[in-house]
Amino acid sequence: MPKLVIDDQEIEVPEGMTVLQAAEMLGIEIPIFCYHPKLSIAGNCRMCLVEMEKSPKPIASCAMPASEGMVIRTQTPMVKKARQGVLEFLLINHPLDCPICDQGGECDLQDITMAYGADSSRFEFNKRAVPDKEFGPLIETAMNRCIHCTRCIRFASEVAGVPELGATGRGEDMEIGTYIEKTITSELSGNMIDICPVGALTSKPYNFRGRSWELSGTPSIDVFDAVGCSIRIDTRGREVMRILPRQNDEVNEEWISDKSRFAYDGLKYQRLDRPYVRGKDGLLSPVTWDEAFLAITERLHHVPGDHVAAIVGDMADAEAMVVLKDLMTAIGSPHMDCRQDGSQVGEGPRCSYLFNTTIAGIERADFCLLVGTNPRWEAPLINARIRKNYLSTGLPIAMIGPSHDLGYPVNFLGNDPFILEKILKGRNPISSALKAAAFPMMIVGEEALRRKDGSIILSLARQIADKYGFVYKTKPQDHWNGFNVLHTAASRVGGLDLGFLPDPKGYTAKEILKAATRKKIEVVYLLGADEIDMSALKSTFVIYQGHHGDRGAAIADVILPGAAYTEKSGTYVNTEGRVQRGLKASSPPGEAKEDWKIIRALSEKLGIQLPYNTIEDVRSRLVKVNPLFDELDKVQRAKWVEFNKEGDLSPEPFKSIIENFYMTDSISRHSITMAKCTREILGREA
Amino acid sequence: MKKTPSKKHSEKTAPKEDFKTFAFSKENEEKIPEILKRYPEGRQASAILPLFELAQRQCGGWLPGSAIEKITEMLGLPIIRGYEVATFYTMFNLKPVGKYHLQICGTTPCMLRGSEDLKRVCKRFLGIECGETTEDGLFTLNEVECIGACVNAPVVQINDDYYEDLSEKSFLNILDNLSEGREAKPGSAISRQGSAPLKKEQS
């Protein structure tokens, strides 16, 4: 542990830290452009120059490893002059268009110029002009503003795994670009906008729409996948203007996927802003809340409780789910399911449906086996973590299922579930590697779990985990559990934790649909469930509660307008089992209401009033149903207990579950930006 | 002047061969393993420079995009990394060049000793300016930064050879020889021995 002195303060730092990081630990701020804590060190902007004793020249602190006995000064006249000089050179070719630049107000160059900039320019010649690039529907470029920090290049090749960007030419002719002008094909490309320290890369959908000081930010949780990224929702008035990541090293680091970032414009279209009831003419007509509730109560009074079923969708919050569960119990229905896709997971103990390794834990793994999953599309940030581990340790990754391009080399074992049996019997080439691995991990995805034999595959995976030591049982102090289930729905783990599952004699989502065609189920309550086979519900009385006029609303008999994730404070449990809460950033449109309130109001009309009046009441009910809802933002680890299901594997190969990353749910299906991505990045018709 | 000046050619010189696909010739193919061997295991990507050079020589002095793609792929690099290298080094010509690539040094010593005059000769005799190629595809003119022979300024590099101590007349003579298909003798135009002083009594 080297000890060094920075500005007369002594500090001891871990081996391998840089002078800049050591200074940060002391709270000494050093201006930077090219340095980024999550990217490799480039050391090319020279803004972080500091003075080092016994060195004739200033040193770049971001690239200099802190070593024993160094004496660093960051506030001397020499440092100030050096930084002023660097900045003057950077500003030579930087246009003075801050008033029309989207980065204005949140620009590193602007801020640092306030500290080190001269009051006027000494440069009398023409500034250089660089043609703008076409990076696709998400990133707007203004390459004159580029200061060649190369953060975007490093991000693309390191984090995103799409080495498409580069710096071509040299000296004054240097430009950032692609080989052949093309759209960036990454699901994480929007993060380049965040890391660009100037206004060279800005958000295309947000272009010229607002200024950073007009917006108010609300911390929230992303619901487009089960990772539960920390996000900030920036609003102006009622309108969501943009969505940015919040730093959360345990989940999303500093990144979010393009869908999480850009699908917000879908919140403006096809919204359900008032209740509807389908009349005798077969058409939906707008009604008041009372009329809508009346239509439901009239129907429910003529239907026995066990002919009623409920299915919740992928974006439901835990509050709405627990209230709906209580309502169903009060009605006397055992038929409820939070797995609208028919995923065969969640009936067993908690460890059988969690991402037990945790997302940050991926970085410790030394072998990764993917079973029926495409993490690049199902959870881009988990994919980024796997890639991070691959880059730093060369993590070997093997894959069973359809072959997907994940952005890192994968040992593709084949698309055949029987490979799992072979691995279990030690008759697969990777068996020896698994045996040798100290921290092996496995991710079982929805491609496997949605199959008819999903639970059998899950049991097989567990047997493999037990045989090859994926879970440390004897060394509790060194916790390692390499058994993981990767969900795709933000609501899923919350639903499972609340037991939003059929009773022993209840139907699962698939059985509900089948029973509906046989009139065994007469009323179905859909809480934002749009990804089911609606044709089965033709003759069923469908209550659809949700925020978008999507598939579910199209066949509904009563529509109850709910709130989207930006419009309510909701609790979500991510695939790791981390309970997180998002705050309300804006209000629902028109007469739409927060979801738990709707169900609570309906219960009153049905004469089975549920015992809560405030969101706090609902949250204490959550804790009563499952105490782990009491602690936020922490992974609630599950104990490794037995689960097993005997049965025969189906020889059918695994099938991809996501056809189009950009359109997976009712919000992104109505987003114009996502439609553009589908067309321009995937080359398909939206 | 014996010859009428060749007409200036438009920027896009149509390549004589089809460069849409690139493949190393048989004899160059044999050199590749030898080149790769020069670098320690795992550092084979460093061979990108000698391989680009090999390809450029094979293609008659320029490096087509297809060659960049082929070589970077061969080394297991993303194509943009190869393109970065090819655009960074000025010695790689990304557009076709004439049979004789005239590289006039324009850095201070050569400029003081008359490199501007040499450029004028090209303009007058060949009708081309920097970055242009004659219509007959014989000459391409470029100004380069210091090529490290300042003692013998002004210097012009033609393909692999240096022509030193040039005057308008001696340069014109060289161009005349080359355009007539004769050889031109590289080295000092005033028969200076190496970089030795011109007069003996100089210290």
Question: Residue B160 maps to which CATH number?
Answer: 3.40.30.10
| pLDDT of A477 higher than 80 | no
Sorting pLDDT into bands at 50, 70 and 90, what band is A388?
Answer: very high
* A165 contacts B87? CB cut-off 8 A: no
Q: Which of A549, A555, A357, A374 is nearest to A471 (CA)?
A: A357
Compute the C-alpha angle A443/A445/A447, nearest 5°. Answer: 145
* A164 contacts B87? CB cut-off 8 A: no
Choose the final residue of a domain: B42, B63, B88.
B88
Residue B4 maps to a domain? no
Residue A325: predicted pLDDT: 96
Choose the final residue of a domain: A470, A488, A506.
A488
Nearest C-alpha in A relative to B69: A179
Residue A205 maps to a domain? no
Which residues in chain A are contacts of B78 at CB distance < 8 A?
A: 157, 163-164
- For the segment A429-465, what is each residue's pLDDT rounded down to a tens digit? 999 999 999 999 999 999 999 999 999 999 999 999 9
Q: Which domain holds residue A332?
A: 276-346+492-630
Residue A23 maps to a domain? yes
* B105 and B68 in a common domain: no
* A381 and A324 in a common domain: no
* A157 contacts B79? CB cut-off 8 A: no
* B170 and B152 in a common domain: yes
- For the segment A36-83, what is each residue's pLDDT rounded down to a tens digit? 999 999 999 999 999 999 999 999 999 999 999 999 999 999 999 999
- CATH number of the domain that residue A414 is part of: 3.40.228.10
Which residues in chain B are contacts of A179 at CB distance < 8 A?
A: 79-80, 83
CB proximity list for A20: less than 8 A, separation 6 or greater: A30, A32, A35, A48, A61, A62, A64
- For the segment A129-139, what is each residue's pLDDT rounded down to a tens digit? 999 999 999 99
How far is the CA of A465 from the CAs of A361, A425, B88, in angstroms?
Answer: 16, 12, 50
Residue B150 maps to a domain? yes
Compute the C-alpha angle A634/A640/A645, nearest 5°. Answer: 125
ipTM confidence score: 0.86
- Please state the domain count of chain B: 2
Q: What are phi and psi of A213, to 5 degrees?
A: -80, -5
* A336 and A369 in a common domain: no
* B127 and B149 in a common domain: yes
Residue B48 maps to a domain? yes
* A414 and A338 in a common domain: no
Percent of chain A with pLDDT over 70: 99
What is the average per-residue pLDDT within B125-136?
Answer: 92
Counting one residue from chain A and one from chain B, the pairs whose CB atoms sit within 8 A come to: 25
Sorting pLDDT into bands at 50, 70 and 90, what band is B198?
Answer: confident
* A169 contacts B80? CB cut-off 8 A: no
Of B78, B87, B90, the CB nearest to A163: B78
Among A127-136, A405-414, A635-644, the least confident range: A635-644
Q: What are phi and psi of A261, to 5 degrees?
A: -80, -40
Which residues in chain B are contacts of A157 at CB distance < 8 A?
A: 78
Cα of first residue to Cα of last residue in chain B, in angstroms, is 40
Residue B201 maps to a domain? no
CB proximity list for A199: less than 8 A, separation 6 or greater: A101, A102, A103, A104, A107, A142, A145
Sorting pLDDT into bands at 50, 70 and 90, what band is A637?
Answer: confident
Q: How many CA atoms lie within 13 A of B136 on its CB side?
A: 13
Which residues in chain A are contacts of B79 at CB distance < 8 A?
A: 179
Handedness of CA B12, B13, B17, B22 (dihedral sign): negative
Tell me the whole-structure pTM to 2 decimals.
0.91
* B175 and B102 in a common domain: yes
- CATH number of the domain that residue A15 is part of: 3.10.20.740
Sorting pLDDT into bands at 50, 70 and 90, what band is B4?
Answer: very low
Residues B16, B20: Cα–Cα separation, whole Å: 12
Q: Facing residues of B157 across strands? A: B103, B162
Q: Which domain holds residue B24?
A: 17-88
Residue A515 maps to a domain? yes
Instruction: State the nearest Cα–Cα gap between A370 and chain B, in angstroms.
Output: 25
Which residue is listed with tokens 């009708």? B127
* A454 and A503 in a common domain: no
Of A164, A165, A168, the CB nearest to B87: A168
* B79 contacts A168? CB cut-off 8 A: no
Cα of first residue to Cα of last residue in chain A, in angstroms, is 56
* A390 and A500 in a common domain: no
Residue A458: predicted pLDDT: 95
* B132 and B81 in a common domain: no
Residue B55 maps to a domain? yes
Instruction: State the nearest Cα–Cα gap between A165 and chain B, in angstroms.
Output: 7
CB proximity list for A60: less than 8 A, separation 6 or greater: A43, A46, A48, A49
Residue A137 maps to a domain? no
Sorting pLDDT into bands at 50, 70 and 90, what band is B12?
Answer: very low
Sorting pLDDT into bands at 50, 70 and 90, what band is B2?
Answer: very low
Residues A294, A248: Cα–Cα separation, whole Å: 45
Which residues in chain A are contacts of B84 at CB distance < 8 A?
A: 166-168
The DSSP-derived string for A263-322 is GGGGGGSSB--S-EEE-TTS-EEE--HHHHHHHHHHHHHTS-GGGEEEEE-TT--HHHHH
Three-state secondary structure call for residue A576: coil
Choose the final residue of a domain: B33, B56, B88.
B88
Q: Choose from A152, A173, A176, A179 for mutation: most chain B CBs within 10 A.
A: A179
Strands A139-141 and A201-203: antiparallel
Whether the CB of B79 is below 8 Å from some CB of chain A: the reply is yes
* A45 and A33 in a common domain: yes
* B78 contacts A157? CB cut-off 8 A: yes
Choose the final residue of a domain: A581, A602, A630.
A630
* B109 and B78 in a common domain: no
* A358 and A339 in a common domain: no
Residues A73, A221: Cα–Cα separation, whole Å: 41
Nearest C-alpha in A relative to B82: A179
Which residues in chain A are contacts of B90 at CB distance < 8 A?
A: 170
* A534 and A414 in a common domain: no
Residue B193 maps to a domain? no
Whether the CB of B197 is below 8 Å from some CB of chain A: the reply is no
Residue A400 maps to a domain? yes
Residue A655 maps to a domain? no
Asked if the bond preceding A31 is cis, omega within 30° of 0, the reply is no
* B101 and B166 in a common domain: yes
Residue A645: predicted pLDDT: 87
Residue A146 maps to a domain? no
- CATH number of the domain that residue A308 is part of: 3.40.50.740
- Please state the domain count of chain A: 3
Whether the CB of A179 is below 8 Å from some CB of chain B: the reply is yes
Choose the final residue of a domain: B48, B66, B88.
B88
Strands A523-527 and A483-485: unpaired
What is the average per-residue pLDDT within A399-428?
Answer: 94
Element (H, E) at B95: none
Choose the final residue of a domain: A459, A488, A517.
A488
Q: Which of A489, A663, A664 is nearest to A572 (CA)?
A: A489
Element (H, E) at A544: strand A541-546
Residue A150 maps to a domain? no
Residue B7 maps to a domain? no
The DSSP-derived string for A187-251 is TTTTHHHHH-SSSSEEESTTTTT--GGG-EEEEEE--SSTT--EEEEEEETTEEEEEEE--BTTT
